[in-house]
Chain A
Amino acid sequence: MASGVTVSDVCKTTYEEIKKDKKHRYVIFFIKDEKQIDVEVIGARDEEYDQFLTNLQAGGAGECRYGLYDFEYTHQCQGTSEASKKQKLFLMSWCPDTAKVKKKMLYSSSFDALKKSLVGVQKYIQATDLSEASQEAVEEKLRATDRQ
């Protein structure tokens, strides 16, 4: 809200649906009229990460987005024989280099507001290109905090 952009209630309810109810796999937010962060796309539970990336870039090369994804991966703790399945929520701000600087700034400065609204997100990722938004890069970041 530092930029004056507010977060709509739909974002919060949708977030809750993902976090608690696991009803969706991901959700894409966008800033509507430079005033409010709203929900653009809600991804079904069975959708894959690629679809998330596609939807994230659906606005075009000059558009920025926020994406929340319930990321699942397996993790084998040290000293354990069985790999455990982990679910982590990450919030990504997608600000491609091809986006206008002004828009980029708007999304960057509004990212705080969204972060405060969505409590419980384990990881925040700022991506400016696909290499930073790729599944591998994301998983690496998510695993970084896991105990080895």
Chain B
Amino acid sequence: MALVTIQRSPSSGSSPSQDDTAEFHDSLDSNRNSKSLSECYFAGKGTALVLPDADASAQPHPACAVDGANAAPSEVADGATPVSVAGQNSSAIQRHLQSMFYLLRPEETLKMAVKLESVHPVRTRYLVVVSRMGSRGEESCLLGIDCNEETTVGLVLRVLADTKITLDGDGGFSVSVCDSHHIFKPVSVQAMWSALQTLHKVSAKAREGNYFQGGGTHSWVEHYEARVASDRSCLNEWHAMDCLESRRPPSPDSIRARPTERDETEKVIRSTLKEIMMSVDLDEVTSKFIRSRLEEELDMDLGEFKSFIDQEMLVILGQMDAPTEIFDHVYLGSEWNASNYEELQKNGVGHILNVTREIDNFFPGTFDYLNVRVYDDEKTDLLKHWDDTFKYITKARNEGSKVLVHCKMGVSRSASVVIAYAMKAYNWDFDKALHHVKDKRSCIKPNTNFLTQLETYQGILDAMKNKEKLQRSKSETNLKSPTNNNKVEKAPSGGTPTPVVQALSKSYDLHSSLSGQDLRQMGARPKSWSPDNLATREIKEGVKSSPGFMSLEDLSQKSASKENVQDSKSSLARHVLMPCDNGESYSVSPNQIVHLPGHDTTTRTDDKRTCLAETEVKIDNSSCSISRVKTVVASETWDPGEDKSAKIIGLIVSDSTTSPVCDQKLSSIVPGDSSRTPVWTSSAVIMTQSAVSSNSFSKVPESRSKNTAQSDLFSNQLDKVFDKEEKKQQRWSTFQATADLDDKLARECPSRQSSWSSYDSAVVMGFPEKNELSRHSSWGSGDTRILPSRNSSWGSYDMRPRTSVYYNNEKGEKILHSTSDLEQNPSGIFPYDKEDIPWHPGTVKRTKQRLEGSVTTARQLTNDSVSSSCVSLNKTPSSETLFNFAEAVNESLVERGTTTLDVESISAISNKIDIPFTDKCSVLSPNISRLSTSAPEPCSMELVVHECSLSRSTSNVSGKDASVQPLENGREQCSSVKMQTSFLESLQKDYQMSTKKNEESFENSLGKVKNLKKEFEAKSSSVGVVDQMSISTERPERPLKVTKNRSLPSSPVCIHQLKELKVVSDDLNFKTIRSVFEKNKEETQHVKLRQKSSKTNGRNHSSRYSCIEMAIDKNPRILSTSLICKTEKSECDYKRPPIVPAVKQIAATVIATAAKKQQQYGKTHPLARINIKPRHNNPVYNTM
């Protein structure tokens, strides 16, 4: 026990004279003021504890006294200033302390030094705690210092928050920091006690400061880490491991004494034994034989070396089994391989992974070691080490080195490590990795515990892969739309029936032919459809990442080109195009548009251009791209509805045009008259196509290829559609959109379902957040999410059924009923949708507000710009008459405008795409697509989006029902469709009911429903379908439809059958159907008008005119006017009315979309304006 003051500054040694005079002051002043130049330590029995400054100051006297008394000795003592010397022990420690201080920098404080035991008696080792004030408080590290000839640092350990100090029960303690484990055995219990106290203090401070590795602290410790200069044996002692059973032979330097005779003998024995064993058959030889041979060779009695010889024999025997080269850079071996220096050198091994607890590192200085200190038993958790081992092996590989992985025998532990490495490094599954390693080294036999852990590890790796993929997809979705594509694709895959997939696959195939990227996408996409998509996703992602934005740009370009084409086409007199631009009037507008030639086209083209520009801008904005995607999705979803409406319209048109027209259209859309009807049909098809394309767009920019493919498909479909226009028209009413997407053959029922589902899925896909969900739920979730869209889409579906009613149309009344139903549904649905959207959360309100704002703006715009356009006029009046409806309509119009713009862009894209295929078809289809897309897409988009975002859950339920119903409808159209429709209606009603805002709309809808019911009843009475009609107001409609369907086809499959039959007698059937459709349309128009003008509820039948007027006011009028202008047939007028409802729906959707767009872009107004203009143009044309 002694108080020791150490002079820290080397300068003191250089100027001892000053020490003499100013030693005392130094010790005091420096302690307090500057960084103490001298410090006091409480030394005793191998420990030295620094005394706090306060203590030092409180004990100046002893220090001073000692200082003064021993001034001379201090000089003698090599510049150091031993203040007091209490025995040899303390003097030795003082000397050592002094020497240690030369290693320290002045900023650092030696808090404690403890002398440690050493296996080599002559060695002096100290464990030193060094501290330094850091930014977050005191930072400490442990230094292992060897004080032999030189004082060197042998070990550096940072004291971090995870430092664990444990007693080993044998007078020592172990410190583990960051998985490194070190044993210290102080020379005395007192020393250990002091060390423990200090260590606990510094570790408590480390926990207080929450120091962690790489946490920005302890950077000063690197100074010591760079100065680890102890010789190898000392380092080995610092890094000595516990629990060793198999130790490396003592290092040469540890044997200071000359090698004993026995050692030399053993050396000879070892070499001789090796020679002998190399020359004998080890399978037969016995150890006795070998020993006798050895005795012969050496000519000496080796009795006393018997155990040694046995041991050596085993070692040599083990070393004779060479390590197995599992991979180029990985050897798997045994303890003996790890101890075979020559072999390791020969194999170029630089890193050794020692997976044992009982085996020492044999050549710690020569090779780089990583120890996984585990036993080979059932309780060992190797799993947690496999990440480290993988990193270690990978690091060695990157360094061009090779790794020997060894345990005791290279059978269980090390083999497990190698298998785990193979699984992670080569993406192998467990079986493959196991078999690979076993093929290379047949003796491996991981214990059952390790096998279980390997299986777990495989699950972890799989999960990691999935996670990475998911994250990638998420990030991609955030950055780009590609994920959306994946999602869309996936969504269909989840629940979609084969038809959709087939259609998609076809589209993909078509895409593949387009370009390399397309091909890539193709390859990936088909996979994406399957649940196993992950890999494909990754590929896609990789592919997509680069092209994503490009594709958008391309799309915009395409759209531009499409615009040009459209313009040219429009100039050709594609009225359809014009209406398409309007989007709102969509189907109706087409007719009118047909009447209205150039102006509409020009304005529309302008609008389209603006839209394109906007879209481009959006594309430019990555964030916008997402919103765009959403909008696109919405548009896609809308497409179905639009398609329906468009299809219906097209059907009507075709009907009006009569079969010849259809034929012409089929023939390839002859301009002029045929253009109208064909345009419609094509438009309907295009709508579907556009929807698909829009889906693709929404999915990913890459969708270009899809679009192209879709366009191809569309063109094909269009051709087919043309061929079957009549049939299709009928079918279309029910399934067209889906049918278009799907195989032509399968179009009818399955196609509908699929297409719907795909739309839904697409919509779902549109939501980046829900991508994953969409995958699974593709159908269900898609439906659920789409619920709103479903409503709209359902409305459109309803429309389709109604269109299917067209078959029934043979009975004009029925047709009318169906149409009225359709109208009612759309009207009801639309308001519902609108309401639903706002209903959900604040977002809905916001959207409403936005919608309102947009509506107002749109109204203003419409008022301003529309002045000339009848459409605008119609809108304004409608708004006046029916605020709700009018607003909705206006909004829808505005939104339509916006949506139409988007739709237009999409359609333009599709048009562009189409162009390559066939100018005629493409032109027509683009136009149609524009129209159809513009109208229905926005609605669907909005609805879908709103619904999805707002009430996914509710939408899920209803959506599921709806989806199920559609599916059923497709196959079991009659009853199932009816039921579904009824369900949907009821759901819609429920939604409406739920929504307070909807109350008004409910009333309106109720009135509409009543009207519809009345109409239906009247119709049913006439048709005899009254029974079904009576089921429910909404239901009746569907039932009527069903009945109609039944009456016509007589079965769910009827549509197909009907189609086929129709194909046979296309013209006649088509004509009849058309007439029926026209009638229906008229009725529907009336109904719609009624619905729209809920006030005119009672009008139902009698108010047909009023309804028509109403419809005309909105869009129908234009159509009617256009129709009148065309004066081709009253059928056209009829057709127009149905369009109107669709327009309403679209309007609602458009409104929603517009609101969304506004939210997203804030550009809704301009878009709305643009849209409005086209509308105006259209009306003008209509008026014309």
The answer to whether B283 has its CB under 8 Å from any CB of chain A is: yes
Q: Is the CB of B283 within 8 A of A4?
A: no
Q: Check A128 against B310 for contact (C-beta < 8 Å).
A: yes
Contact pick for A105, options B318, B375, B377, CB 8 Å: B318
- Interface positions of A from 69 to 110, Cβ below 8 Å from B: 95-102, 104-105, 108-109
Query: B408–A128 contact, CB under 8 A?
Result: no
Helix, strand, loop or mixed for chain B's interface? Answer: loop
Specify which chain B residues have a CB less than 8 angstroms from the CB of A42 in the assembled complex: none
* Complex interface: chain B residues within 8 A of A2 (CB): 376, 407-409, 411-413
Instruction: Give the nearest-CB partner of B287 in chain A.
Output: A97
A-contact bits for B360-399, CB 8 A (1 contact / 0 none): 0000000000000001110000000000000000000000
* B288 interface contact, C-beta 8 A: yes
Decide: A97 and B286 in contact? CB cutoff 8 A: yes
B314:A116 contact, CB within 8 angstroms = no
Decide yes or no whether A133 CB sits under 8 A from chain B: no
CA distance A1 to B284 in the complex (A): 24
Residues of B within 8 A of A113 (CB): 376
Interface string of A1-23 (1 = CB under 8 A from B): 11110100000000000000000
B282, B283, B310, most chain A CB atoms within 10 A = B310
A2-B376, A6-B447 known; A101+B287 contact, CB < 8 A:
yes
Chain B nearest CB from A65 CB (Å) reads 16
Q: Say whether A62 faces chain B, with CB atoms less than 8 Å apart.
A: yes
Chain B neighbourhood of A98, CB < 8 A: 286-288
A47 at the interface (CB under 8 A from B): no
Interface positions of A from 11 to 69, Cβ below 8 Å from B: 62
Q: Is the CB of A104 within 8 A of B314?
A: yes
Is residue A112 contacting chain B, with contact meaning CB distance below 8 A? yes
Contact across chains for B411 and A100 when beta carbons are under 8 A apart = no
- B300 located at the interface, meaning its Cβ lies under 8 Å from any Cβ of chain A in the complex: no
Contacting pair B306 A109 (CB below 8 A): no
Considering only residues 144-185 of chain B, those with a C-beta below 8 Å from chain A are none
Residues of B within 8 A of A100 (CB): 283-286
Complex Cα gap A118–B207 (Å) = 41
A101 adjacent to B285 (CB under 8 Å): yes
B539 within 8 A of A: no
Whether A109 pairs with B377 at a CB distance below 8 angstroms is: no
Distance in angstroms from B380 CB to nearest chain A CB is 10
How many residues of chain A are within 8 Å of chain B by beta carbon?
23
- B317–A105 contact, CB under 8 A? yes
Can you list, as one digit per residue, whether each of B238-255 has a CB less than 8 Å from chain A (1) or not (0)? 000000010000000000
**Which residues of A lie under 8 Å from residue B445 when comparing CB positions?**
4
Contact: A101 with B447, CB < 8 Å?
Answer: no
Tell me if B286 and A62 are in contact (CB < 8 A): yes
B1117 at the interface (CB under 8 A from A): no
> A4 with B443: in contact, given A97-B291, A101-B290 (CB under 8 Å)?
yes
Instruction: Report the minimal beta-carbon distance from B869 to chain A, rounded to whole angstroms.
Output: 88
Shortest CB distance A113–B (Å): 8
Task: For A128, give the chain B residue with the smallest CB separation.
Answer: B310
A1→B447 contact, CB < 8 A: yes
Contact with A along B436-455 (1 / 0, CB 8 A): 00000001110100000000
Which of B282, B286, B444 is A99 in contact with, Cβ under 8 Å?
B286
**A3 near B287: Cβ-Cβ < 8 Å:** no
Complex: A140 Cα to B683 Cα, angstroms:
104
Within residues 395 to 452 of chain B, which ones have a CB less than 8 A from any CB in chain A? 407-409, 411-413, 443-445, 447
B314: A residues at CB distance < 8 A: 104-105, 108-109
A4-B443, A6-B447, A116-B375 given; A101·B409 CB < 8 A:
no
When distances are taken between beta carbons in the complex, the residues of chain B under 8 Å from A104 are 287, 310, 313-314
Residues of A within 8 A of B245 (CB): 112
Q: Contacts of A4 on B, CB cut-off 8 Å?
A: 409, 411-412, 443-445
How distant is A23 from chain B, measured CB to nearest CB, in Å? 26
B residues near A116, Cβ cutoff 8 Å: 375, 377
- B410's closest neighbor in chain A, by CB? A2
Q: Which residues of B contact A3 (CB under 8 A)?
A: 408-409, 411
B1053 CB, nearest partner CB in chain A, Å: 65
CA distance A62 to B447 in the complex (A): 29
Q: What are the residues of chain A within 8 A of B317 when measuring CB–CB?
A: 101-102, 105
Bound Cα distance A126, B311 (Å): 11
Given contacts A116-B377, A128-B306, A128-B310, contact A101 B286 (CB under 8 A): yes
> What is the chain A residue whose CB lies nearest that of B376?
A1
How far is it, in angstroms, between the C-alpha of A38 and the C-alpha of B245 when the chains are bound?
Answer: 25
Q: Count chain B CB atoms within 10 A of each CB in A2, A62, A95, A100 and give the residue with the most.
A: A2
Let me know if B291 and A101 touch, CB within 8 A.
no
A6 cross-chain contacts in B, Cβ below 8 A:
447
Least CB distance, A59 to chain B, in whole angstroms:
14
In the complex, A2 Cα to B290 Cα: how many Å?
A: 25
In chain A, what residue has the closest Cβ to B311?
A108
Neighbouring B residues of A97 by C-beta, 8 Å: 286-288, 291
Residues of A within 8 A of B444 (CB): 4
Q: Give Cα A2 to B314, complex, Å.
A: 14
Query: Is B412 a contact partner of A1 (Cβ separation < 8 A)?
Result: yes
**What is the chain A residue whose CB lies nearest that of B310?**
A128
Interchain CB contact under 8 A, A112 and B408? yes
The complex places the Cα of A114 from the Cα of B876 at a distance, in Å, of 95
Q: Closest residue to B445 on the A side, CB-wise?
A: A4
| CA distance in complex: A85, B310 (Å) | 35
Residues on B with beta carbons closer than 8 Å to the beta carbon of A62: 286
A4 vs B413: C-alpha distance when bound (angstroms): 10
Q: Tell me the complex Cα distance, A4–B447, Å.
A: 7
Q: Within the assembled complex, what's the spacing in Å between the Cα atoms of A116 and B412?
A: 15
The smallest C-beta distance from B997 to any residue of chain A, in angstroms, reads: 73
Q: CB-nearest residue of chain A relative to B306?
A: A128
Task: Let me know if B411 and A102 touch, CB within 8 A.
Answer: no
A72 to B: closest C-beta gap in Å: 27
| Chain B residue at minimum C-beta to C-beta distance from A35 | B445
Q: How far is the CB of B318 from chain A (nearest CB, A)?
A: 7
CB nearest neighbor in A for B411 = A4
Which of A1, A3, A104, A112 lies at the interface centre, i.e. has the most chain B CB atoms within 10 A of its CB? A1
Q: Given that A97-B291, A98-B288 are known contacts, is A109 also in contact with B408, CB under 8 Å in the complex?
A: yes
Q: Which residues of B contact A102 (CB under 8 A)?
A: 282-283, 317
- A27 to B447 Cα, complex, angstroms: 25
- Tell whether, in the assembled complex, residue A101 and residue B313 are in contact, meaning their CB atoms are under 8 Å apart: yes
CB distance from B427 to the nearest CB of A (A): 28
Instruction: Check if B287 sits within 8 Å of A1, measured CB to CB.
Output: no
A113, B375: Cα distance in complex, Å: 10
Q: List the B residue with the shortest CB-CB distance to A100.
A: B286
Question: Would you call A101 and B282 a contact (CB within 8 A)?
Answer: yes
Taken together as a complex, chains A and B put the C-alpha atoms of A99 and B314 apart, in Å, by: 13
CB distance from B334 to the nearest CB of A (A): 8
Query: Please, which residues of chain A bring their CB within 8 A of the CB of B447?
Result: 1, 6
How far is the CB of A17 from the nearest CB of chain B, in Å?
21
Q: Mark B278-316, 1 if CB is under 8 A from A, else 0.
A: 000011111110110000000000000011001001100
- Docked Cα-Cα span, A100 to B283, in Å, equals 7
Closest to B358 in A: A112
Complex alpha-carbon distance, A62 and B285, angstroms = 10
- Separation of A113 and B445 alpha carbons in the complex (Å): 14
> A112 to B411, alpha carbons, bound, how many Å?
14
A-chain residues with CB within 8 Å of residue B443 when the two chains form the complex: 4
Please measure, in the bound complex, the distance between the C-alpha atom of A100 and the C-alpha atom of B314, giving whole angstroms. Answer: 11
**Residues of B with C-beta under 8 A to A108:** 314
User: Shortest beta-carbon distance, A109 to chain B, in Å?
Assistant: 6
Q: Which of B2-30 contact A (CB under 8 A)?
A: none
8 more A-B contacts (CB under 8 A) besides A1-B412, A4-B412, A116-B377? Answer: A2-B407, A2-B408, A6-B447, A62-B286, A104-B287, A109-B314, A109-B409, A126-B307
Residues of A within 8 A of B (CB): 1-4, 6, 62, 95-102, 104-105, 108-109, 112-113, 116, 126, 128
- 5 A–B pairs (Cβ distance < 8 Å), ordered by A: A2-B413, A4-B412, A101-B286, A116-B377, A128-B306
Chain B residues proximal to chain A, CB less than 8 Å: 245, 277, 282-288, 290-291, 306-307, 310, 313-314, 317-318, 358, 375-377, 407-409, 411-413, 443-445, 447
3 A-B pairs with least C-beta separation? A2-B408, A97-B288, A4-B445
